[in-house]
A = this chain, B = another copy of it.
Amino acid sequence: MAVELKDLTKSEENYSQWYNDLVMKAGLAENSAVRGCMVIKPYGYAIWEKMQAELDRMFKETGHQNAYFPLFIPKSFFSKEAKHVEGFAKECAVVTHYRLMNDPDGKGVVVDPSARLEEELIVRPTSETIIWNTYKNWINSYRDLPILCNQWANVVRWEMRTRLFLRTAEFLWQEGHTAHETREEAIEEATKMINVYKKFAEEWMCLPVIVGHKSPNERFAGAEDTLTIEALMQDGKALQSGTSHFLGQNFAKAFDVKYANREGKLEYVWATSWGVSTRLMGALIMAHSDNNGLVLPPRLAPQQVVIVPIYKGEEQLAATRVRMEELAAEMRAKGIRVKIDDRDNVRAGFKFAEYELKGVPVRLALGQRDLENGTIELARRDTLTKETVAQEGLADRVEALLEEIQQNIFRKALDYRNSMITKVDTWEEFNEVLNTKGGFISAHWDGTPETEQAIKDATKATIRCIPLDAVEEEGTCIFSGKPSKCRVLFARSY
């Protein structure tokens, strides 16, 4: 599992290749022998685990419990909700048989034709149907509500064009599925959870996001409203990073889930669902990294600090080790994740490049003169600056610095994002900004799916969202010239 330190493709030369190189060379993920399915390598998985841990904590803090539902969904379940089937039951993995047998011709194994399933099973692309079929048995009266469940799971959508983390046939995610007495309570839940995502994206991933409603064309199949967090990548393209759906009573009706209300009358239950996935890894990588490699926010970095010894010969190394261990112990006592890299088969310069590639926020180098002087060299990954500092008080300094780096990475991404929201009022301007600057374009839209589709066909830009904080403003649609009441955000996107 040696890291390859060959030069990355430069992002300005080929952004897409730069991304792919980075994911592979930093040891985050790689393609597998199965088309569209990735292997998440230990370093990538360690970052995902940190994301999971914090999200899970936030879900529990907001009253949710984890549960687990089946991987397989009977084919007929998808037909029960009319829009859902259109959106999800098409490109999917279909299990038709449950047995292999030895090839009668003598080589390998073949599908046993006698072991055909009566009804095909679909590998879940999302779990609304199987979960609402289950909730039917859990809900009798308003006393059984709300149900606030989340599951961490793998899902499969048979994507034709895949990219590591961003779009893979199998991916890991969490999906929350909640059941409520009233429309208002369900809408409140959907809103609460999109704000949990926003908080997580901004405070943990340093990823500024815009919260808004999806236009009807971009809504989740089966939802009455989809809330989204939209982030901007460094190439000016948007990335949908998490969604939270108000499902109305659609799935309750499809699976006949009613409850006796406080007046004893039977009513359909109200629903939400919400999810984020390993796609967040793609967002994290593309939002902050540079031509030297990853730039990881300290809160998500598997190692926050690495210490590299500069020495000649065993004796010097031994002396340096002692001091490195002492310094590491002081930092670890503050909860800082520290690695000491005392490998003696690679040069310090190789190690420096490796930790830059891997995005370790703080690198310390301890040389022989440092040992004499009580100093140490400290390098920041976010700014690529270095300075010599005192060993005394190092743990305090690093603790504060990690927080500063966290803030700095966010501020940089926020400044960039803010500089990439452009107001335009004409179709000409729209095209010009889209093709030269990119980013989010704030423009008037007449509110019809037809216009949205026409703009997409003409430019590949879609409505990323109608921001929650959009102000009412009279205007005319950039495409149709028809009247509009507010601006929406367009962008090309992943």
Q: Say whether B109 contacts A98, CB under 8 Å.
A: no
Query: Contacts A1-B138, A38-B70, A71-B123: A96 and B99 contacting too (C-beta < 8 A)?
Result: no
A154 to B71 CA separation, bound complex (whole angstroms):
8
Q: Counting CB contacts under 8 A, is A144 at the interface?
A: yes
Residues of B near A78 (CB, < 8 A) are: 100, 109
A70 interface neighbour in B96, B111, B170, Cβ under 8 Å: B170
A92 interface neighbour in B99, B147, B154, Cβ under 8 Å: B99
A121 interface neighbour in B1, B93, B108, Cβ under 8 Å: B93
A97 to B96 CA separation, bound complex (whole angstroms):
8
Q: Counting CB contacts under 8 A, is A330 at the interface?
A: no
Q: Say whether B71 contacts A144, CB under 8 Å.
A: no
A172 to B66 CA separation, bound complex (whole angstroms):
14
Query: Contacts A109-B79, A111-B120, A149-B42: A133 and B33 contacting too (C-beta < 8 A)?
Result: yes
Q: Say whether A74 contacts B123, CB under 8 Å.
A: no
A97 interface neighbour in B1, B69, B70, B94, Cβ under 8 Å: B94
Q: Say whether A40 contacts B68, CB under 8 Å.
A: yes
A25-69 CB contact bits vs B (8 Å, 1 = yes)?
Answer: 000001011100111111001100100000000000000011111
Nearest CB in chain B: distance from A66 CB, A: 5
Residues of B near A71 (CB, < 8 A) are: 37, 123, 154, 156, 170
A98 to B158 CA separation, bound complex (whole angstroms):
6
Query: Closest B-chain residue to A129, C-beta based?
Result: B33
Residues of B near A70 (CB, < 8 A) are: 32-34, 37-39, 170
Known: A39-B134, A90-B100, A93-B98. 15 other contacts (CB 8 A): A30-B137, A33-B70, A34-B74, A39-B67, A42-B65, A42-B67, A46-B66, A75-B100, A79-B109, A85-B108, A89-B100, A89-B109, A93-B95, A93-B121, A96-B96
Q: Say whether A65 contacts B45, CB under 8 Å.
A: yes
Q: Counting CB contacts under 8 A, is A327 at the interface?
A: no
Q: Say whether A121 contacts B65, CB under 8 Å.
A: no
Q: Counting CB contacts under 8 A, is A437 at the interface?
A: no
A156 to B158 CA separation, bound complex (whole angstroms):
20
Query: Contacts A32-B130, A143-B345: A67 and B93 contacting too (C-beta < 8 A)?
Result: no
Q: Say whether B96 contacts A91, CB under 8 Å.
A: no
Q: Say whether A96 contacts B111, CB under 8 Å.
A: yes
Residues of B near A38 (CB, < 8 A) are: 70
Q: What copy number does this chain have within its complex?
A: 2
A66 to B76 CA separation, bound complex (whole angstroms):
36
Q: Say whether A134 contacts B67, CB under 8 Å.
A: no
Q: Counting CB contacts under 8 A, is A333 at the interface?
A: no
A94 interface neighbour in B69, B95, B143, B170, Cβ under 8 Å: B95
Q: Counting CB contacts under 8 A, is A470 at the interface?
A: no
Q: Counting CB contacts under 8 A, is A2 at the interface?
A: yes
Q: Tell me which of A38, A71, A78 has the highest count of chain B C-beta atoms within 10 A of its own C-beta.
A: A71
Q: Say whether A99 contacts B158, CB under 8 Å.
A: yes
Query: Contacts A33-B74, A34-B130, A130-B33: A68 and B96 contacting too (C-beta < 8 A)?
Result: no
Residues of B near A100 (CB, < 8 A) are: 75, 78, 89-90, 92, 94, 122
Query: Closest B-chain residue to A107, C-beta based?
Result: B79
A111 interface neighbour in B94, B134, B158, Cβ under 8 Å: B94
Q: Say whether B95 contacts A99, CB under 8 Å.
A: no
A72 interface neighbour in B65, B89, B93, Cβ under 8 Å: B93
Residues of B near A130 (CB, < 8 A) are: 32-34
Contacts of A464-483 to chain B: CB distance below 8 A: none
